Structures are given as C-alpha cells and as structure tokens.
Structure 1
Amino acid sequence: MKVIRLVLGQLILLLNAIFSPRAMKRSEDAQQQVNDQAKQLQLYQFESCPFCVKVRRSAKRLNLPLATVDAKQPDNEQVLIEQGGKRKVPCLRIEDKSGQVKWMYESNDIVAYLEQRFA
C-alpha cells in the first residue's frame, strides 16, 4: 500500500508540475495588498496529498503567495493537533488582525474561502 501511495503521490506532483495553472494578473498595488493579506495564512499540508495539491493549485491561480507548512514534521504536526484540533490536511490557519486564529479544514471549504477573499 505504501508503494502505491508513493507512486501515485509522485504522479500527482508530476502532473501538477506539467499542467500548472496560470496566475491571475493584478496591478502592482492590488498584488501587494494580496501579498500582505497572505501573510496571515498558513497551509498545513502534505506535499503529495491530492487535496493539498488542489488547494495549492487554487492559490497559484489566485496569484496568492500561500505559506505552506509540512505537517509531517513532528513539531508542525504537534501544532496542528494542539491548536487546530486534529491531524488532518489540508488545514488553513487564518490569523485576523486582532490575533484571533481560525483553523479551516476540507479542501473545498479552503478553496471557496480563498476564492471569495482573493478573486
């Protein structure tokens, strides 16, 4: 089973690299605002997880410099479990201006949130 996962994961990454989406064009000022807002976001993910790839592709389409965190690293995994509530990826960590943190799971919910906020 691990071999199948490894092969499929590498295939997903290869296809993602070949068929990478084009980034949205914005004015310099608008892109700078997006970049500043993106600093409040972190995507906890596994590199070859198909649902994580889906979220990263959406971020690329939106020209959103989304910081990614490898949830397989023990320290990152512990943060995800303790603060987010469960070991599940993808998970988007959203920090608002007041410092409140929200953890969003489910790739469809994350993509919808990103599109609503940045499209």
Structure 2
Amino acid sequence: METTSAAALLAALAHPARLAVFRMLVQAGPEGLAAGEIARRTDTLPNTLSANLSVLSHAGLVQTRREGRSVIYSAHYPAMTDLLTFLMEDCCQGRPEVCEPVARAAARASCCD
C-alpha cells in the first residue's frame, strides 16, 4: 500500500462517527448491517449517516449490497487488512516486544480468519 492510499483510508476514519460506524461494521462481520439498523444503533439522522457511509465507501473501507429494499453495508476486510499491514510493516526494527501486544490481539480476533 502506498502512503497516499493509507492516508486516504485514515482520513476517512478520522471522524468519531465514521470510526464508530466502521467499528460496528467490523463487529457485525461479513453479513453486515442494513443502513436503517446502523442509523438506529448510532442514533444518527439518515442524511448524516448517508454522508458518513459515502465517505467510508469511497475510501474502500465498506462495501454495499442490496437485499430486497434494504442496502446492507459491511466492512471491506481486505482494505482494513492492507491498512493494518501498512501501519505495522516497519514496526519493531528487530524488537518484537514492541509489536507483541498487537500481534496477540490480532491472533485473538476471529473476524479475519
């Protein structure tokens, strides 16, 4: 991943509401959540949620699909993985203890198996 791409993903996440929505979608798993359910859980107005989801979608962090009349949003795990890898690839510099807590947390995560 290029620095410019990483910066664009980080910029999309650099807002408390967008970060909360993205984390919610990561927790929801590949099944994702309907836009209405996201709005209900976050107590967000539809136009505000739409703008936030649009930013996340344009950055490539979320993907959408239609199910009947609902639009389902889900985290785009490959983009998240690429960003995390980019952030961690130069970590440690021969000192694995620096990154050990993150490696343990990643090993416990069940979303990305």
Q: For the superposition of Structure 1 and Structure 2, which TM-score range results when normalised by the shorter chain?
A: under 0.3
TM-score by length of 2: 0.27
Greater helix content: 2
